[in-house]
Amino acid sequence: MKTNFSVVPKLLARNPRLAGRIVRSFAGQKKSVIVDKRFHPETTKVLSLIYFRLTPLCNLRCVMCGQRGVKGTMTGLFAREEAKKIVPLDTYKRLVDEIKHKKPTIYLWGGEPFLYPDLFPLVDYMMEAGLAVSVNTNGTFLAKNAAEIVRKGWHALFVSLDGFEETNDAIRGKGSYQNVVEGFEAIKREKARQGSHLPHMGIVTTVNNLNYKDLYRLAEAANDFGLSWHIFNLGTYTNQDIIAKQQTFMKEALDSEATCIEAFDTGYNEGIDGRDLHQILERIHAMHSDHPVITVPALNPEKIDLYYHDFETLVRRNCSVPWSQANVNYNGDVHFCADYPDYVIGNITEKPFFEIFNGEKARRFRTALRGSPEGLFPGCSRCYQNMLCGEKIKGF
Ligand SMILES: C[S@@+](CC[C@H](N)C(=O)[O-])C[C@H]1O[C@@H](n2cnc3c(N)ncnc32)[C@H](O)[C@@H]1O
Ligand code: SF4
Ligand code: SF4
């Protein structure tokens, strides 16, 4: 499981257009690293991926979630108050008009994106602008909306599922597994009825100490869901030492708080046996299935234990995110780090997007990141975005 390269032929055979889109997105990412980061270190002309965290609200309470879980920073009354600040549809439409010439891939998430009241008109507008749109959802609302999702030809759904039934429900709440299964079935039925191949559907599984021994059963069950991919995300974890270092660094270098990282010191990494996990993932990768299985990050088997038990050891370096990606938060704040939205570079209700993306705060962030050891801040060591796009460190 040293690389995910083996999935490429399967993806090409099954979904050539989807494979083409992914390749284009990675090419944009690479260009940002090779050209912009090197020759214009403070600014960028690339925008290959833009995340929209549409709402702070969610109907679930998954234990490890940095927003709504046991250590979550976005719960209860606070979340309900924050939800009053959600960006209206017209503001998002204006933003789409500003960015569409760059052809970024769009990733809608939350909270739970189906709780954003204008999700359907927003996706319509983005698709009419020629953008590729992905929706990351807990799956609860898929069955109810299946006919419309298929009729509109949504491109891609990333549905979270963290284990076979009992395991998943212990993490994501009772009944959540069945809801997702019913959602997949409803979409499959509608695709057949409407004669459509869209949306592509895939699972995202976040590995933790509650589910890692049970991943094979989920992978087996997933063979019946009609998927285009199954992603195993090794998870974002940290500890108090790293949090303290990140907070000191952010204060000194960027004059910023760093509170969101605290939500990822969950302890759900504890007790994961890296050798066991490697063997389980190997069996899953070897299983006969129509869809590709992708592990993020794909690690050398010897190093998986370090991933979970020594967060100071880096496995990917040179974060390229600020040179090609942005996150827009539910209140319009723009930031680079999806899970750590403390450092805000501007707000889309106040300024045009590209003035923010190459503005003073964005440039300061890029300069600090480029000047940091290994091109990372102390809190970046297990960041999902860097696991996806960062540079592999030799031996890992
Ligand atoms: C925060 S959720 C938002 C979208 C939607 N509510 C869902 O669950 O798919 C986005 C993704 O982050 C994953 N996630 C939650 N906690 C995580 C953690 N500690 N580390 C890595 N990923 C995590 C979720 O499982 C989900 O796949
Ligand atoms: S469904 Fe998503 S946002 Fe909601 S608690 Fe679970 S992981 Fe967090
Ligand atoms: S690696 Fe660090 S700087 Fe890059 S996106 Fe992740 S948290 Fe942000």
Query: CA-CA distance, 380 to 337, in Å (whole number)?
Result: 9
- Per-residue pLDDT, 6: 56
Which residue's C-alpha comes closest to atom 3 of ligand 2? 111
- Per-residue pLDDT, 37: 72
**Of 54, 61, 136, best ligand 2 pocket probe by most atoms within 8 Å of the beta carbon:** 61
Q: Calculate how far, in angstroms, residue 305's C-alpha sits from the geometric centre of ligand 1.
A: 22
Determine contact, residues 354/95, Cβ cutoff 8 Å: no
Distance of CA 47 to the CA centre of its chain: 16
Q: Calculate how far, in angstroms, residue 62's C-alpha sits from the geometric centre of ligand 3.
A: 23
Q: Determine what percent of the chain falls in helix, strand and coil, rounding each to the nearest 5.
A: 50, 10, 40
Indicate which ligand has the atom closest to the C-alpha of 320. Answer: 3
Is there an atom of ligand 3 within 6 Å of 376 CB? yes
Which residue's C-alpha comes closest to atom 8 of ligand 2? 65
Query: CA-CA distance, 393 to 317, in Å (whole number)?
Result: 7
- Per-residue pLDDT, 350: 98
- pLDDT tens digits, the chain, 396 residues: what are they? 555 655 555 656 666 666 666 666 666 666 666 666 777 789 999 999 999 999 999 999 999 999 999 999 999 999 999 999 999 999 999 999 999 999 999 999 999 999 999 999 999 999 999 999 999 999 999 999 999 999 999 999 999 999 999 999 999 999 999 999 999 999 999 999 999 999 999 999 999 999 999 999 999 999 999 999 999 999 999 999 999 999 999 999 999 999 999 999 999 999 999 999 999 999 999 999 999 999 999 999 999 999 999 999 999 999 999 999 999 999 999 999 999 999 999 999 999 999 999 999 999 999 999 999 999 999 999 999 999 999 999 999
Both structure tokens of 269: 């990494």
- Per-residue pLDDT, 132: 97
Using the atom order of ligand 1, give the atom closest to the CA of residue 110: 3
Which residue's C-alpha comes closest to atom 6 of ligand 3? 383
Q: Calculate how far, in angstroms, residue 235's C-alpha sits from the geometric centre of ligand 1.
A: 9
Determine contact, residues 203/222, Cβ cutoff 8 Å: yes
pTM listed for this prediction? 0.94
Q: Calculate how far, in angstroms, residue 192's C-alpha sits from the geometric centre of ligand 3.
A: 41
Q: How would you classify residue 329: left for phi > 0, otherwise alpha for psi between -120 and 50, otherwise beta?
A: beta
Determine contact, residues 163/214, Cβ cutoff 8 Å: yes
Which residue's C-alpha comes closest to atom 16 of ligand 1? 65
Query: CA-CA distance, 330 to 52, in Å (whole number)?
Result: 7
Q: What is the DSSP code string of 216-259?
A: HHHHHHHTTS--SEEEEE------HHHHHHHHHHHHHHH-----
What's the order of all strands across the beta sheet hosting 133-137?
293-296, 229-233, 200-206, 156-160, 133-137, 105-109, 49-53, 325-328, 333-335, 346-347
Q: Calculate how far, in angstroms, residue 340's C-alpha sits from the geometric centre of ligand 3.
A: 8
Query: Which residues are CB-neighbours of 181 under 8 A, at least 6 positions away?
Result: 225
Residue position matching structure tokens 């191949």: 197
Q: Is 308 helix (H, G, I), strand (E, B) or coil?
A: helix
Cβ < 6 A, ligand 1 pocket: 58, 62, 64-67, 109-110, 112, 136-138, 160, 204, 206, 233, 235-236, 264, 384
- State the amino acid at position 3 in one-letter form: T
**Of 63, 160, 381, 388, best ligand 1 pocket probe by most atoms within 8 Å of the beta carbon:** 160
Residue position matching structure tokens 């007790």: 271
Extended beta strands in the chain, E state = 49-53, 105-109, 133-137, 156-160, 200-206, 229-233, 293-296, 316-317, 325-328, 333-335, 346-347, 391-392
Cα R_g (the chain), whole angstroms: 20
Q: Calculate how far, in angstroms, residue 358's C-alpha sits from the geometric centre of ligand 3.
A: 17
Q: What does residue 355 show for φ and ψ, rounded to 5 degrees? A: -70, -30
Q: Calculate how far, in angstroms, residue 117's C-alpha sits from the geometric centre of ligand 3.
A: 30
Is there an atom of ligand 3 within 6 Å of 167 CB? no
Buried b (16+ CB within 10 A) or exposed e, 215-239: beebbebbeebbbbbbbbbbbbbbb
Query: CA-CA distance, 77 to 60, in Å (whole number)?
Result: 15
Q: Are strands 333-335 and 325-328 parallel, antiparallel or unpaired?
A: antiparallel
Q: Calculate how far, in angstroms, residue 384's C-alpha sits from the geometric centre of ligand 3.
A: 8
- Per-residue pLDDT, 364: 98
Q: Is 137 helix (H, G, I), strand (E, B) or coil?
A: strand
Both structure tokens of 242: 């790293």
Q: Are strands 156-160 and 325-328 parallel, antiparallel or unpaired?
A: unpaired
Determine contact, residues 335/345, Cβ cutoff 8 Å: yes
Q: Calculate how far, in angstroms, residue 319's C-alpha sits from the geometric centre of ligand 3.
A: 6
Distance of CA 68 to the CA centre of its chain: 16
Is there an atom of ligand 3 within 6 Å of 327 CB? no
